[in-house]
Amino acid sequence: MKHVIIVGGGPAGLFAAEELAKNFQVTLLEKTSHVGGSGLVSDGKLNYHPKIGGDLTNFLTERESWNLIESIRLKFESLSVPSDIFDESKLRQLEVKAAKSGIRFIKIKQTHIGSDHLGEVIDKLRKKIENAGVQIIFNAEVHDIVVKGRIVTAVKVKNELYPLDALLIAPGRIGSPWLISTMNKHNLAMQYNPIDIGVRVEVPNEVMDEVVNVYGCWDPKFHIDTASYDDFVRTFCVCPRGFVVKEAYEDTQFGVNGYSNREMGSNTTNFALLVNVNLTEPLENTTEYGRRIVQLANTLGGRRPILQRLGDLRSFRRSTWDRINRSYVRPSYTEVTPGDISMAYPHRIVKDLLEGLEALDRVMPGINSDSTLLYAPEVKFYAMRIQTNKELRTSIPNLFVAGDGAGVSRGIVGAAATGLIAAKGITKNLTS
């Protein structure tokens, strides 16, 4: 039986493993002591849409993309993830309301596992995969691949070699520096992805309650083209009754993120408001650009995230604890420094964010009020995109990549989908 090795036990690696086990001997090498990847530390919002969390139409037709997404939804359902009931007519009403306000609302089937339930779901998936015959080896960090005559023949874990017929590398964002250096070593082509730079916005639950509970949209995606710069701004990772948290980036840099539990909640809703930045010549390196901005924000905040009231940002003054304490929105995260985001972010980004909030206020009145809280930095770095064909095969014919680390997804469902696309590619490659 032919042997496939998968590097990385996140959603991409796990979904690929189960599919590949139908035809091959499969070994999954995971550098930590558990599977789940960065999905395990998330709050498990699942967006069942081919263009959210990546763009599957880069690899499949529109219809194939939707079919793949539906198969992933059914898989999660079989793992006891409730498939929420979507009221199409309500979502359509919200779409119309947004359109009348000059912004786009993206209708998506969504579900929310919750940080407090994610462990159980991943445990079930692991058991299913092991029952299908996949061998999972923990604490096995792959640090090199062996290539002979443009064919990959093995991977190296410490001094041990694991021979293989095909290799799928799905190491997530955390493994992307290693993946990039490995791709460079073997002259495989890559390109920079755009980056998202923004803030975490926090408002009282009442402000977003209508959208979340009346229209029944847990993680609403609003897309805005800003008036001044015509830049693309969007809402991302809405956390109703949620909490803001600090998130470590690479090296010593950090930003903020958010999460919600399914059961215990707060009085506030938070979400990321992100400006999409794409660079061309002479600087294409969006990662470097983002890192400089994060560095400035981290330095200004005295190694804490910056917190500012929207009213203070608009009035060209920094926030202070006194001003924040007088505000009626209580921050859910307080290990911050009240400050001035406009000292760290370029004018263009601040302007985009202010115009984005103005536009959102037409759909969710109250968002653009002076007491709305903004935390910075929140930057979404995406891995460099490894050049592949539509089956996610690199120019080494038995080497495939998938997931966030390869720059082809940005979310649990998207990562799982690319894992399945690569698995199909490997099956075709090894059986033809």
Ligand X SMILES: Cc1cc2nc3c(=O)[nH]c(=O)nc-3n(C[C@H](O)[C@H](O)[C@H](O)COP(=O)(O)OP(=O)(O)OC[C@H]3O[C@@H](n4cnc5c(N)ncnc54)[C@H](O)[C@@H]3O)c2cc1C
Q: Does 401 bind ligand X (CB under 6 A)?
A: no
Residue 293 or residue 406: which is nearer to ligand X going by CB? 406
Segment near ligand X (CB under 6 A); pick from 169-177, 191-199, 271-279, 318-326: 169-177
Q: Does 411 bind ligand X (CB under 6 A)?
A: yes
As measured in angstroms, the least distance from the Cβ of 19 to ligand X is 14
Query: Contacts with ligand X in 260-299 (CB under 6 A)?
Result: none
Task: Based on the shown chain and the rule CB under 6 A, indicate whether residue 253 belongs to the binding site for ligand X.
Answer: no
**Is residue 310 a contact point for ligand X (CB under 6 A)?**
no
174 binds ligand X (CB under 6 A): yes
Using CB under 6 A as the criterion, what x/- string covers residues 20-59 for binding ligand X? Answer: ---------xxxx----xxx-xxxxx-------x------
Residue 344 or 408: the one with the smaller Cβ distance to ligand X is 408
12 binds ligand X (CB under 6 A): yes
Contact map string, positions 89 to 128, toward ligand X, x by CB under 6 A:
----------------------------------------
7 binds ligand X (CB under 6 A): yes
Figure out which of the listed residues 4, 5, 6, 11 binds ligand X, where binding follows CB under 6 A.
11
HEC string of the chain equals: CCEEEEECCCHHHHHHHHHHCCCCEEEEECCCCCCCHHHHHCCCEEEECCCCCCCHHHCCCHHHHHHHHHHHHHHHHHCCCCCCCCCHHHHHHHHHHHHHCCCEEECCEEEECCHHHHHHHHHHHHHHHHHCCCEEECCCCEEEEEEECCEEEEEEECCEEEECCEEEECCCHHHHHHHHHHHHHCCCCEECCCEEEEEEEEEEHHHHHHHHHHCCCCCCEEEEECCCCCCEEEEEEEECCCEEEEEECCCCCEEEEEECCCCCCCCEEEEEEEEEECCCCCCCCHHHHHHHHHHHHHHHCCCCCEEEEHHHHHCCCCCCHHHHHHCCCCCCCCCCEECCHHHCCCHHHHHHHHHHHHHHHHHCCCCCCCCCEEEEEEEECCCCEECCCCCCECCCCCEEECCHHHCCCCCHHHHHHHHHHHHHHHHHHHHC
Q: Whose Cβ is closer to ligand X: residue 12's or residue 374's?
A: 12
CB of 407 to ligand X, least distance (A): 10
Stretch 176-215: interaction string toward ligand X, x if CB under 6 A: --x-------------------------------------
Asked if 175 touches ligand X (CB under 6 A), the answer is: yes
Which residues of the shown chain bind ligand X in the complex (CB under 6 A)?
7-13, 29-32, 37-39, 41-45, 53, 141-142, 170-175, 178, 247, 257, 403-405, 409-413, 415
